[in-house]
Amino acid sequence: MAEVTVSSKFQIVIPKAIREEAGIKAGQKLVILAKGNSLHLVPKRDVAWLIGSAKGANPADYRDRSDK
């Protein structure tokens, strides 16, 4: 766990050890989620990570909307 200070411009610096552990790079986009009094920073994924995720899928086996 690390402690950071919010600047007058409401900016924080993510400590190096945390950046390295999370694999955060300069210029990378993060999504911030507020959960109660907690904030969660999550790396924003590019759609490129989906490439190949449906490999082997056969759309001929899927039902269409008129087949209800």
Residue 66 lies inside a defined structural domain of this protein: no
Residue 12 lies inside a defined structural domain of this protein: no
pTM: 0.60
Distance CA 13, CA 3 (A): 10
Residue 43 lies inside a defined structural domain of this protein: yes
Q: What is the pLDDT of residues 3-58, one digit of tens each?
A: 999 999 999 999 999 999 999 999 999 999 999 999 999 888 777 767 777 777 77
Residue 34 lies inside a defined structural domain of this protein: yes
Residue 67 lies inside a defined structural domain of this protein: no
Residue 41 lies inside a defined structural domain of this protein: yes
Residue 31 lies inside a defined structural domain of this protein: yes
What's the domain range around 38?
A: 25-51
Residue 40 lies inside a defined structural domain of this protein: yes
Q: How many domains does the chain have?
A: 1
Q: What DSSP state is assigned to residue 46?
A: P
